Amino acid sequence: MEQNSKKWIFYAVITTVFWGVWGALIEIPEKAGFPGTLSYVVWAFTMLIPAFFALKNVNWQLDKSPKAILYGMLIGILGAGGQMLLFTGAIANGPAYLIFPIISLSPVITILLSMILLKERAGLRAWIGILLALLAIPLLSYQTGSGTAGIGAWFVFALLVFIAWGAQGYLMKSTNQFMKAESIFFYMTVSGLLLAPIAYFMTDFSQDINYGMKGPGYAFLIQILNSVGALTIVYAFRYGKAMIVSPMTNAVAPVITIILSLVMYAVFPATITFIGMILAIVSAFILAFD
């Protein structure tokens, strides 16, 4: 058990660092003229690399029962669908330093589903974390423009990603009990690739697209961080408790994203938005160590 404890921490740290850096860099290809839809396609293909090594690690033994395929594909669709919404809607319309704090609250969905469907109980601190998360979301959605305040389109997409990834966390938690982590990741990869043609045909090819290193080249280097992090979090769920792994990785990763983003783009959010960011981070930390 001690060895497994060390394993989940190892994998959780890799996920946290890789996802934190990925979140800060994700806007670079699109700002260089490479559409988010095509970034999704690049991401889907980068998933093949860690999937190859994962399956090789278990001698290509894949869980093929109808139940495994159903749950594996459902987990994959929720994850890949969230990725598509992130690339095509959220990042295209809003800043990463606001989007990722909202997404980091997805463990709230995981915990609530676990309480309702698995009859798990949450302590006082967990409820405080959930309450802070619910307070943070409207503050993070606050925008000003032309003298008026409102909710940006990016917020709606970020909220949908938040729901999709929260549900995915719950399913990943329950599915790990009867599926190998490598099989879960394989079906996640397949789901991502199945949605790739949709993203491709959503692309506006009438605009100038950067096909150089700063386009697909940077997209590949950035998205491989996401793909490896996706594999290591599946392993973290295997060896650790999901109600700890999910909030902890989601608490620290956006901190890395926010710090790098604010330094790279030299911007500082409005006071109300900044308060929302702080509440989101505090909430995720509380949920991580409940």
Position 156 scores a pLDDT of 86
User: Among candidates 231, 75, 253, 87, which has minimal Cα distance to 164?
Assistant: 75
Position 280 scores a pLDDT of 74
The model's pTM is 0.80
- For the chain (290 residues), the mean pLDDT of every run of 10, in chain order, is 62 89 89 90 96 93 92 92 85 75 78 75 73 71 47 81 88 82 93 94 90 92 95 85 69 76 75 78 69
Position 290 scores a pLDDT of 56
Position 44 scores a pLDDT of 95
Position 2 scores a pLDDT of 41
Position 145 scores a pLDDT of 45
Looking at this protein, which amino acid is placed at residue 270?
A
Alpha helical stretches, state H, the chain: 2-25, 28-31, 36-46, 48-57, 66-85, 91-93, 96-103, 107-117, 124-140, 153-175, 181-201, 218-239, 242-265, 271-288
Mean pLDDT of the chain: 82
Element (H, E) at 149: strand 148-151
Position 1 scores a pLDDT of 39
Contact 25, 257 (CB under 8 A): no
Position 122 scores a pLDDT of 63
Position 93 scores a pLDDT of 76
Distance, in Å, from the CA atom of 282 to the CA atom of 285, rounded to the nearest integer, reads: 5
